[in-house]
């Protein structure tokens, strides 16, 4: 038998080689962490390993496209493209975070549920706890509440493990469409991840899963469809994106078994609005009380970014393919916001030297979304980047971000391009809802920025590159995880939330950006790194 020896973080592990499987597939099977944001087709370029010994296949076309000359010289390969031809020894260059679940920073829970009814309409439950879950494309967030004391017991956020089936929702939907077995696996992996989030809390904080009586789940449309194993062919056809999703037909009793909570626990999976406008947006509108003031704009930034504008009578909503750049899950120098992430960047006054702040201090591991925005805005202001997103001088290895005790991080041209596409989609969505409401940026009274992304954002930098409209920065509110806090409102005051959700659904008009007659022209215009055009 041939063996694969894997070196990671100073430790070695030997696993048997399965003929026909790539190194990535064997690492996934052995539960060895390596970053990945595609289905093993080499598109993301993240699953980097260094071949130290052994015979392997020739480099594939994908590797020739994404690996730098420096990486090729060091014998670095993409694990998903690497096929052993006998015993093999590799070192993981780009490991995934081993500790997936962490406490949600208080700044991400800024819209605290308040002034809610003393009791919800779930009936006379004897159990004590309720769970609120925000199911995002890149991250899953969960909080537990003591329903009698009406107090938050704990909070956790972790990576959505479905990324192994694709960084974007379309790739995952296609994977689920392949077979009922694959669809079931994609759904269950989320439930097992939630169980993994709850177990440490049970041991350390005395949280009792046997006393959970209520679970509320919100999420974007694709995530809800995948979790509930709901057929969603309409999401794969752009011309039907505005149509409502088929009602979920889930076995909640089976879910209870996976989560380790009583089978009598009541589940509420809040249905999406339509197309790619999910129940996470509706929850965000509730959390921010968006409809209390005309001229209020909500932008929930993420892999699937959702936008809502209240004009006093109509809630104009749309979704935009923000992509993984804003959550830094598929860029060469990017990592999600957390310990070790650069979240603020500037040039030292009168100097070409970069200054930056790292979450938690210590050595920088990568840039999160806000750090990426700051860096691109700074490079644009310094003349290092053109408005078209091109470096003004040859940088085949990207722009270096120096570190004290490690090789520099590098912002690659491909990363800038990925960022521009996400920025352009969001900018086009904002301009579209404003046009539908016959409003302009000057008519806006509030701009609410949601998502974990929306906590450290430099508003002027975001405006300079065209991510936000040109308004007074004083009207911009950084609201944190509005989907989760809205979900908590539904958990704690179901009667109030039900009436609020019904009102929102009756007043909402969904706009399908893909059906705009001049979509391609407007999208291309939005790619420029410049102030948002009216």
Same domain, yes or no: 190 and 155: yes
Within-domain flag for 502: no
CATH number, domain containing residue 138: 3.30.420.480
- Record the pTM: 0.79
Within-domain flag for 499: no
CATH number, domain containing residue 466: 3.30.420
Same domain, yes or no: 401 and 444: no
pLDDT at 409 exceeding the cut of 80? yes
pLDDT at 117 exceeding the cut of 50? no
What confidence category does residue 209 fall into, taking pLDDT thresholds of 50, 70 and 90? Answer: confident
Pairing of strands 366-367, 341-347: parallel
Q: What is the mean pLDDT of residues 331-343?
A: 82
Within-domain flag for 532: no
Residues with Cβ within 8 Å of residue 255, at least 6 apart in sequence: 191, 267
CATH number, domain containing residue 45: 3.10.20.30
pLDDT at 517 exceeding the cut of 50? yes
Same domain, yes or no: 67 and 189: no
Domains in the chain: how many in total? 4
Same domain, yes or no: 442 and 315: yes
Same domain, yes or no: 274 and 289: no
The per-residue pLDDT for range 38-59, each reduced to its tens digit, is 667 787 788 899 999 999 999 9
Same domain, yes or no: 185 and 248: yes
CB 287 within 8 A of CB 298: no
pLDDT of residue 168: 79
Q: What is the mean pLDDT of residues 449-454?
A: 74
pLDDT at 115 exceeding the cut of 70? no
Pairing of strands 476-480, 446-450: parallel
Higher pLDDT, 315 or 212: 315
Within-domain flag for 10: yes
pLDDT of residue 95: 80
Same domain, yes or no: 441 and 378: no
Within-domain flag for 491: no
Residues with Cβ within 8 Å of residue 456, at least 6 apart in sequence: 107, 337, 343, 344, 370, 478
CB 271 within 8 A of CB 279: yes
pLDDT of residue 237: 64
Same domain, yes or no: 64 and 123: no
Least confident segment among 161-165, 203-207, 342-346, 395-399: 203-207
Same domain, yes or no: 118 and 264: yes
The per-residue pLDDT for range 249-277, each reduced to its tens digit, is 567 888 998 888 898 899 999 999 888 89
Q: Final residue of a domain: which of 69, 92, 115?
A: 92
The per-residue pLDDT for range 369-389, each reduced to its tens digit, is 899 999 999 999 999 999 999
Least confident segment among 115-119, 197-201, 248-252: 115-119
Least confident segment among 35-44, 101-110, 134-143, 415-424: 35-44
Higher pLDDT, 165 or 425: 425
Same domain, yes or no: 255 and 398: no
pLDDT of residue 260: 86
What confidence category does residue 154 fall into, taking pLDDT thresholds of 50, 70 and 90? Answer: confident
Q: How far apart are CA 66 and CA 59, in angstroms?
A: 11
Q: How far apart are CA 32 and CA 429, in angstroms?
A: 39
CB 401 within 8 A of CB 333: yes
Q: Final residue of a domain: which of 36, 58, 92?
A: 92
Give how far Cα 242 sits from Cα of 221, 223, 274, 300, 307, Å: 11, 16, 5, 18, 14
Give how far Cα 99 sits from Cα of 103, 200, 364, 492, Å: 11, 12, 17, 30
Chain centre to alpha carbon of residue 65: 26
Q: Final residue of a domain: which of 411, 428, 446?
A: 411
Within-domain flag for 505: no
- DSSP 8-state class, residue 305: E
Same domain, yes or no: 119 and 221: yes
The per-residue pLDDT for range 472-499, each reduced to its tens digit, is 999 999 998 999 999 999 999 888 899 9
**Closest of 135, 59, 510 to residue 317, by C-alpha:** 510
Q: Residue 266 pairs with which residues in a beta bridge? A: 214
Q: How far apart are CA 277 and CA 193, in angstroms?
A: 24
Parent domain of 395? 341-411
Q: What is the mean pLDDT of residues 150-178?
A: 86
Map residue 199 onto helix, strand or coil.
helix
Within-domain flag for 31: yes
Same domain, yes or no: 119 and 223: yes
Q: Residues of the chain with pLDDT > 70: what percent? A: 88
**Closest of 218, 208, 189, 191 to residue 147, by C-alpha:** 208
For the chain, give the mean pLDDT: 86
Within-domain flag for 331: no
Q: How far apart are CA 164 and CA 157, in angstroms?
A: 18
Structure tokens at 120: 């919800």
Q: How far apart are CA 2 and CA 85, in angstroms?
A: 9
């Amino acid at each position: 038998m041939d063996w694969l020896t894997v070196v990671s973080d100073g430790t070695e592990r030997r696993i048997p080689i399965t003929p026909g499987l790539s190194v990535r597939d064997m690492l996934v099977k052995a539960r060895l962490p390596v970053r990945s944001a595609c289905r093993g087709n080499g598109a993301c370029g993240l699953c980097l390993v260094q071949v130290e010994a052994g015979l392997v296949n020739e480099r594939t076309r994908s590797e020739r496209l994404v690996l730098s000359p420096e990486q090729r010289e060091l014998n670095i390969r993409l694990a998903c493209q690497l096929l052993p031809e006998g015993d093999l020894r590799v070192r993981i260059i780009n490991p995934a975070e081993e500790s997936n679940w962490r406490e949600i920073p208080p700044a991400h829970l800024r819209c605290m549920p308040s002034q809610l009814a003393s009791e919800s309409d779930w009936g006379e439950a004897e159990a004590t706890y309720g769970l609120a879950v925000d199911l995002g494309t890149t991250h899953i967030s969960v909080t537990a509440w003591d329903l009698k004391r009406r107090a938050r017991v704990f909070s956790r956020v972790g990576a959505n493990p479905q990324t192994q089936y694709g960084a974007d929702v379309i790739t995952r939907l296609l994977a689920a469409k392949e077979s009922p077995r694959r669809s079931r696996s994609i759904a269950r992996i989320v439930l097992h991840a939630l169980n993994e989030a709850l177990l440490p809390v049970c041991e350390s904080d005395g949280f009792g899963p046997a006393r959970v009586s209520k679970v509320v789940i919100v999420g974007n449309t694709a995530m809800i469809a995948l979790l509930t194993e709901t057929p969603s062919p309409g999401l794969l056809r752009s011309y039907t994106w505005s149509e409502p999703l088929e009602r979920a037909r889930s076995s909640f009793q089976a879910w209870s078994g996976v989560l380790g909570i009583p089978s009598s626990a009541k589940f509420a999976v809040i249905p999406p609005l339509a197309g790619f406008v999910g129940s996470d947006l509706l929850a965000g509108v509730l959390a921010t009380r968006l409809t209390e003031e005309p001229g209020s704009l909500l932008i929930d930034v993420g892999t699937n970014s959702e936008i809502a504008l209240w004009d006093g009578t109509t809630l104009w909503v749309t979704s935009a393919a923000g992509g993984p750049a804003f959550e830094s899950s598929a860029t060469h120098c990017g990592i999600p916001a957390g310990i070790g992430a650069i979240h603020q960047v500037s040039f030292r006054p009168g100097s070409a030297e970069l200054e930056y702040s790292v979450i938690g201090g210590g050595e920088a591991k990568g840039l999160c979304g806000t750090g990426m925005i700051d860096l691109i805005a700074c490079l644009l202001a310094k003349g290092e980047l053109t408005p078209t997103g091109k470096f003004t001088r040859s940088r085949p290895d990207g722009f270096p971000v120096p570190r004290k005790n490690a090789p520099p991080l590098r912002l690659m041209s491909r990363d800038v391009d990925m960022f521009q596409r996400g920025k352009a989609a969001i900018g086009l969505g904002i301009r579209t809802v404003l046009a539908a409401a016959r409003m302009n940026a000057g008519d806006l009274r509030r701009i609410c920025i949601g998502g974990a992304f929306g906590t450290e954002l430099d508003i002027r930098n975001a405006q300079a590159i065209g991510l936000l409209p040109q308004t007074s920065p004083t009207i911009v509110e950084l609201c944190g995880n509005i989907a989760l806090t809205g979900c908590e409102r539904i958990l704690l005051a179901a009667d109030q939330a039900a009436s609020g959700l019904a009102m929102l659904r009756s007043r909402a008009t969904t706009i399908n950006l893909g059906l705009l007659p001049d979509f391609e022209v407007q999208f291309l215009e939005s790619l420029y790194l410049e102030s948002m055009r009216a």
